[in-house]
Amino acid sequence: MKKVLMVIFLAVAGVGNTLMAQQPKVVVSDKTGWHKIGETTVKFEKEKDEVVIMGADKFASLKFKVTDASIDLISADVYYDNGTSENIDIRTPLKVSGETKVFNIKGGEHDLKKVVLVYKTLPNSKDEKAHVEIWGLKTNADKNNKK
């Protein structure tokens, strides 16, 4: 009986952890313009977060926004579906409701696979965690050139 209870407990704990894990945002719109393509809540115990990009994931530029608490956003490693990657040197302390400048992706629009954010959380009196949003710009350059 104890083994059965232990198995049930572990199964319930595993389901709880899965539900609390970050779910990838699926980009469904292919309209030209800015789209929120991912987000994460950064923790004080680590300084790197991976955000998977899925769906209509072809973007020409990126920018980053922060809510809830300030953060020092150091860089973003952008991984493309074709196996290549690019490091974006951000080095921008962001206050609540702040955003970075626009970073153009080298070579125009690319299919994004994931973005790895490197940051330092900034101390605050409420121990709030920063919520970081990743925004991507669709230009649909390949579709516009086929007219």
- Residues 15-63: tens digit of each pLDDT: 333 333 455 556 777 789 999 999 999 877 678 999 999 887 899 999 9
Element (H, E) at 49: strand 48-55
Does residue 124 fall inside a structural domain?
Answer: yes
Number of domains in the chain: 1
With a CB cutoff of 8 Å and minimum separation 6, the contacts of 49 are: 22, 40, 42, 116, 117, 119, 132
Indicate which CATH number applies to the domain containing 88. Answer: 2.60.120
Please tell me the distance from the alpha carbon of residue 31 to that of residue 65, in angstroms, as a whole number: 21
pLDDT one-digit tens code per residue, 59-89: 999 999 999 888 999 999 999 999 999 999 9
> What pLDDT is stored for residue 146 in this prediction?
53
Q: What is the pTM of this model?
A: 0.77
Strand-strand pairing, 71-80 and 85-94: antiparallel
- The predicted pLDDT at position 10 comes to 43
* 8 A C-beta contact, residue 129 and residue 41: yes
Most confident option among 18-22, 117-121, 127-131: 117-121
- Mean pLDDT over residues 103-131, rounded? 88
d(CA 114, CA 32): 20
Q: Is residue 147 part of a domain?
A: no
Q: Does 50 fall in a domain?
A: yes
Residues spanned by the domain of 45 = 2-140
- When pLDDT is cut at 50, 70 and 90, the band that residue 122 belongs to is confident
